[in-house]
Amino acid sequence: MEKPKSDPEVAGLRKSLIEEIIGKQLENGSWNNKVYDYEEGTTHQLMRLIELDLTAEDEHVRKAVEYMLKFQAEDGAFIQGRTMCGARANLVTTNAVLLALARAGYSSDARVAKGYEWLCGWQQEDGSWLSPEAKRRRDEGKGYPHPYCGLHATCNVLLGLSAAERTRRSEAAKRGVNYLLGLYGYKYEIDEDIEPPYFRFIIKKRLVPFEGAWHDPRCVPPDIGSISRKSVDRIVEIATTGGVLIPLSMLGYGLDHEKVRKGLNRLIQLQTVSGITLRTLMIMKSLYQGLSVFSFHGH
């Protein structure tokens, strides 16, 4: 709403939000004794404090950083508890920690650089990021274990790389962007006669135009019971198109880029009659006005 920070209402809201967040911080510097969690972990709470203008000099930020760094392994990854997708260390966890640390002003720290080195080591030859389990399933022709896994992992890492100038301009980021742009505008046609669950018996026929949207052709549609094929396609299309536009906008790709412009128009067209989602509104704002951060689910 473009109100200045000195506005009493804005200042009061900021103060109450900060007090609410730091009021839940534990003595060890964490939130809920978790390095990473979508809503309640230390990474996300730290990023919220940074967005509310706290800095690395603030005691609460410093304690959170010290807590997270305790979980860095020798190879640079961040590990806490059970891992997923066949990896010793979770790509999402490490990326979220690095994103939080970079936003907190630690982008030049040697430990952060080592973490990014580990993260970029998982980049595939085509520029994408995949966990070992997702790569195995893909190579066996089974599709990814998560409906949006192929694009999801790549978009998350690219958003993480957008947090600092050095990583934003890295070769890894450029290759990742080229991978995303290469998936624009087409998908595999799937046999319309297949009944749910679709993910078991996918018959890919041919590439068909998919103007204005992104879709990973190796992605397995989700099993959503009796929902129609058209509805499943719409769910996947919204998730992937929105997911791609977020890191692209944070990496400097704006509406002057034809694919970004058409992708946003397509995303708006896909919204329901009940209105445009908050996520889409934030994507629109990031492209029209620019955002310093984009922290939906903290990725």
Q: Are residues 69 and 160 in the same domain?
A: no
- Number of Cβ within a 10 Å radius of residue 8: 8
Last residue of a domain, one of 106, 122, 138: 122
Last residue of a domain, one of 101, 122, 143: 122
Rounded Cα–Cα distance for residues 249 and 246 (Å): 5
Instruction: Give the max Cα distance, the chain.
Output: 61
Q: Are residues 91 and 17 in the same domain?
A: yes
pLDDT score recorded for residue 288:
87
Q: Are residues 173 and 271 in the same domain?
A: yes
Average pLDDT over residues 241-245: 88
Q: Are residues 7 and 77 in the same domain?
A: yes
Q: Are residues 108 and 244 in the same domain?
A: no
Q: Are residues 44 and 143 in the same domain?
A: no
Q: Are residues 189 and 90 in the same domain?
A: no
pLDDT interval class at 254 (50, 70, 90): very high
pLDDT tens figures, 32-70:
999 988 778 999 999 999 989 999 999 999 999 999 999
Rounded Cα–Cα distance for residues 207 and 142 (Å): 18
Last residue of a domain, one of 80, 98, 122: 122
Q: Are residues 202 and 213 in the same domain?
A: yes
| pTM score above 0.85 | no
Among 177, 176, 202, CA closest to 189: 202
Q: Are residues 58 and 78 in the same domain?
A: yes
Residue 298 in this model has a pLDDT that exceeds 50: no
pLDDT score recorded for residue 245:
92
Burial class (CB in 10 A: 0-12, 13-18, 19+), 133: middle
Q: Are residues 146 and 264 in the same domain?
A: yes
Q: Are residues 293 and 170 in the same domain?
A: yes
Please count the structural domains in the chain.
Answer: 2
Residue-number span of the structural domain to which 266 is assigned: 124-299
Q: Are residues 236 and 90 in the same domain?
A: no
Residue 6 in this model has a pLDDT that exceeds 80: yes
The rounded Cα 203 to chain-centroid distance in angstroms is 29
Mean pLDDT, the chain, whole residue set: 81
% of the chain with per-residue pLDDT over 90: 44
pLDDT interval class at 285 (50, 70, 90): confident
pLDDT interval class at 209 (50, 70, 90): confident
Between 180 and 234, name the one with better pLDDT: 180
Average pLDDT over residues 236-255: 87
The answer to whether 183 and 214 have CB atoms below 8 angstroms apart is yes
pLDDT score recorded for residue 93:
87
Residue 173 in this model has a pLDDT that exceeds 80: yes
Rounded Cα–Cα distance for residues 46 and 58 (Å): 11
